[in-house]
């Protein structure tokens, strides 16, 4: 035992069980709560309970809080020593920010000790460590705060994403990465592949703040690819660098109040005028536009009034545009907006395509669906050992273990299917992806979001009341349960995805196929 750490007998601790003189033991460590108790978010009276004050409160504590509470600096200061006989390392140490979780199935198999993967190299493993550290240290604290107060992500975090070129990396591999230093050199631009991008999305999902995560320039990931892949050089020169460097934001404005994501049914219209187009979408403005509140540019689909063709263009924020905040089941941190255009002028250079708008928007969906699927996968279940009912750990009940079996099987099957689809995307060109993978991607997204709903329901059942509280031990479960439908609907609702998957399979059915 280090000399600096004092040790106390149980009897000594028991003497401090009153207002103004209050100690408790958690995991063999003695905490002096005398000054903290009146400020305790759970109230003072529970701390004065005879089974808590001056006692070993380990079980009670972990039945209500997450371990991370004890890791906070302000609470580390409450430690005054350990219980007699405790090992020298009893003081909980904070795991390094890039540490892997040792709880079985908490990490994907490729990050589990002793497991192998055909898809991920040593380079991917190094990259994953750097991303995890970045997410935990730079993003997580801001995410937890802003998800709660509904404000957009802080400018510093968005700038950090731009400076490390995470904004650029989330658009996938390609020429836009050339010459950039990626996350302080964690990967070279020419090495960066779709598995690096997958790591980014999976690691970012660990912030457990779905609205905030969309607020982190998610609109760029769907609004900029049409410009990158189909825009003219003048348009690219005018906006890409400002967006990748964090000065400006772009979003995708294609779903409409009456047509939803049925792009073909849109009412927003464009009329020819000298040097450009006049865009109107007033009564049927575009709806559910992620980042619409903050965006400077809107990649917008509209119908050419003269010939009915579907155009795609970038509308710059300005007079004639209004953006109104929409409240959804996740945080307003995402800046989801109802957008209307009233006689907006769009110069010719900002038109991406006059005739192929629909095709470009549809081709964009594959990557969007892949992103949504990647971000949805992954759930932790260490708490099952933690929560106790009728005096026993919950995991001692067969019915709970059966739910766990289902949760694990679903997570593992989604992850493995995703890795396979990602590998196909890595090895297929753009056209092949549209014909070979779109159907499978749609089925995978549908399966993943349905699995998420089953998993959230099981988790809430196991968690009981804690699974529906926004604070404490169950806060991530509550959040997951409330926000998962965003992924089930965004980028195409489940039934549409299922239908697309099967229709694409049927198209490929050999004419002479017989049972
Ligand atoms: C080192 C000692 C403790 C610290 C630093 C602490 C800190 C906190 C914090 C930060 C919260 C807000 C919710 C959260 O973020 O998890 C909370 C809530 C709560 N705490 Fe404690 N706590 C301590 C000990 C205890 C003990 C021993 C009990 C007794 C069983 C207790 C009972 C509660 C209750 C009932 C809540 C409200 C639960 C909720 O909001 O979901 N706390 N505590």
What is the value of ipTM here, to two decimals?
Answer: 0.95
Same domain, 390 and 469: yes
Q: Are residue 183 and residue 268 in the same domain, yes or no?
A: no
Instruction: Determine, yes or no, domain membership for 366.
Output: no
Q: Is 14 in the pocket of ligand 1 (CB under 6 A)?
A: no
pLDDT given at position 434: 81
Q: How far is the CA of 254 from the centre of ligand 1 (A)?
A: 45
End-to-end CA distance of the chain: 73
The answer to whether position 367 is within a domain reads no
Task: Write the residue with the smallest CA distance to atom 15 of ligand 1.
Answer: 472
For residue 274, the CA-to-ligand 1 centroid distance in Å is 65
**CATH no. for residue 457?**
1.20.140.10
List pLDDT tens digits, range 5-27.
899 999 999 999 999 999 999 99
189 assigned to some structural domain: yes
Model confidence pLDDT, tens digit, residues 75-127: 999 999 999 999 878 887 888 899 998 888 888 999 999 999 999 999 999 99
Residue span of the structural domain in which 20 resides: 6-83
Count of structural domains within the chain: 4
Residues 496 and 382 in one domain: yes
User: C-alpha angle with apex 68: 15 to 486, nearest 5 degrees?
Assistant: 140
Nearest CA to ligand 1 atom 11: 41
Mean model confidence pLDDT for the chain: 90
Distance CA 245, CA 250 (A): 12
For ligand 1, mutation pick of 65, 67, 68 (most atoms within 8 Å of CB): 65
Residue 379 — pLDDT band, cuts 50, 70, 90? Answer: very low
335, part of any domain = yes
The pLDDT of residue 228 is above 50? yes
**351, 384: one domain:** no
The answer to whether residue 402 is domain-embedded is yes
Expressed in angstroms and rounded, the spacing between residue 37 Cα and the centre of ligand 1 is: 10
Does the pLDDT at position 286 exceed 80? Answer: no
Verify that 181 and 124 share a domain, yes or no: yes
Dist. CA 385 → ligand 1 center (Å): 19
Can you give the pTM of this predicted structure?
0.89
* Same domain (yes/no): 14, 60: yes
Q: Which of 13, 26, 30, 42 maximizes ligand 1 atoms within 8 Å of its Cβ, making it the mutation to test the pocket? A: 42
- Ligand 1: does its nearest atom lie under 6 Å from the Cβ of 46? yes
- Decide if 368 is inside a domain: no
State the pLDDT at residue 280. 92
Q: Is 386 found in the same domain as 343?
A: no
Which ligand 1 atom is nearest residue 31's CA? 1
Distance from the CA of 65 to the center of ligand 1, in angstroms? 6
- How do residues 208-221 score in pLDDT, each as one tens digit? 899 999 999 999 99
- Nearest atom in ligand 1 to 475's CA: 41
CA–CA separation, 79 vs 254, rounded Å?
A: 55
Ligand 1 atom nearest to 75, measured from its CA: 5
How far is the CA of 91 from the CAs of 22, 56, 60, 61, in angstroms? 19, 15, 19, 16
Residue 1 inside a domain? The answer is no
Which residue, of 67, 83, 99, is where some domain finishes?
83
CATH code, 113: 1.10.540
| One domain for residues 114 and 79 | no
Give per-residue pLDDT as tens, 470-494: 888 788 888 888 888 888 888 889 9
**Is the domain of 382 the same as that of 353?**
no
Same domain for 386 and 479, yes or no, is yes
Better pLDDT: 99 or 286:
99
SS (H, E, C) 76-116: HCCEEEEECCCCCCCCCCCCCCCCCCCCCCCCCHHHCCCCC
Asked if the model's pLDDT at residue 500 lies above 50, the reply is: yes
Quote the ligand 1 centre to 225 CA distance (angstroms). 46
Report the C-alpha gap between 184 and 88 in whole angstroms.
38
What would the pLDDT profile of 141-177 be if each residue is shown by its tens digit?
999 999 989 999 999 999 999 999 999 999 999 999 9
Please indicate, yes or no, whether residues 207 and 310 belong to a single structural domain of this protein.
no
**63 band by pLDDT with thresholds 50, 70 and 90:** confident
In a domain, 46, yes or no: yes
- Among the candidates 216, 242, 273, a domain finishes at 216
Predicted confidence (pLDDT) per residue in 393-407, tens digit: 777 788 888 988 998
């Amino acid at each position: 035992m280090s000399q600096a750490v004092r040790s106390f007998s149980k009897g000594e601790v028991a003497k401090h069980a009153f207002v103004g003189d209050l100690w408790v033991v958690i995991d063999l460590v003695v905490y002096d709560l005398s000054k903290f108790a009146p400020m305790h978010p759970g109230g003072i009276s529970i701390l004065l309970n005879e089974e808590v004050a001056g006692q070993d409160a380990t079980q009670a504590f972990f039945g209500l809080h997450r371990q991370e509470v004890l890791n906070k600096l302000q609470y580390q200061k409450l430690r005054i020593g350990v219980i007699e006989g405790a090992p020298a390392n009893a003081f909980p140490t904070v795991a390094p920010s890039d540490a892997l979780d040792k709880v079985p199935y908490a990490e994907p198999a490729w990050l589990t000790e002793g497991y192998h993967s055909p898809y991920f190299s040593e380079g991917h493993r190094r990259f994953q460590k750097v991303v995890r550290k970045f997410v935990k240290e730079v993003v997580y604290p801001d995410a937890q705060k802003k998800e709660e107060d509904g404000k957009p992500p802080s400018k510093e975090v968005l700038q950090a994403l731009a400076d490390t070129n995470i904004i650029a990396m989330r658009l996938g591999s390609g020429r836009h990465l050339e010459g950039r230093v990626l996350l302080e050199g964690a990967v070279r631009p020419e090495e960066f592949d779709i598995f690096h991008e997958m790591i980014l999305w999976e690691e970012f999902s660990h912030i457990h703040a779905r609205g905030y995560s969309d607020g982190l320039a998610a609109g760029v990931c769907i609004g900029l690819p049409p410009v990158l892949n189909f825009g003219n050089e003048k348009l690219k020169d005018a906006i890409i660098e400002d967006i990748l460097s964090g000065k400006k934001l772009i979003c995708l404005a294609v779903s409409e109040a009456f047509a939803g994501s049925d792009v073909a049914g849109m009412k927003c219209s464009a009329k020819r005028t000298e040097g450009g187009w006049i865009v109107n979408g007033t009564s049927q403005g575009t709806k559910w536009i992620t980042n619409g509140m903050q965006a400077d540019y809107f990649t917008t689909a509209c119908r050419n009034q003269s010939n009915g063709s579907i155009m795609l263009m970038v509308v710059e924020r300005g007079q004639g545009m209004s953006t109104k905040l929409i409240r959804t089941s996740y945080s307003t941190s995402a800046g989801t907006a109802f957008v209307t255009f009233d006689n907006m002028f769009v110069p010719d250079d900002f038109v991406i395509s006059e005739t192929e708008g629909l095709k470009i928007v549809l081709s964009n969906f594959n990557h969007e669906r892949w992103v949504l699927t990647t971000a949805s996968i992954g759930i932790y279940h260490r708490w099952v050992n933690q929560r106790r009912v009728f005096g026993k750990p919950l995991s001692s009940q067969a019915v709970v273990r059966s739910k766990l079996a289902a949760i694990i099987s679903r997570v593992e099957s989604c992850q493995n299917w995703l890795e396979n689809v990602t590998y196909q995307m890595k090895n297929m060109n753009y056209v092949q992806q549209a014909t070979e993978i779109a159907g499978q991607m749609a089925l995978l997204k549908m399966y993943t979001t349905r699995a998420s709903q089953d998993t959230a329901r099981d988790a809430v059942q196991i968690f009981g009341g804690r699974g529906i509280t926004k604070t404490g031990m169950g806060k991530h479960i509550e959040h997951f349960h409330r926000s998962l439908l965003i992924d089930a609907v965004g980028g195409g609702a489940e039934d549409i995805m299922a239908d697309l998957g099967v229709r694409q399979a049927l198209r490929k059915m050999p004419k002479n196929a017989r049972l």
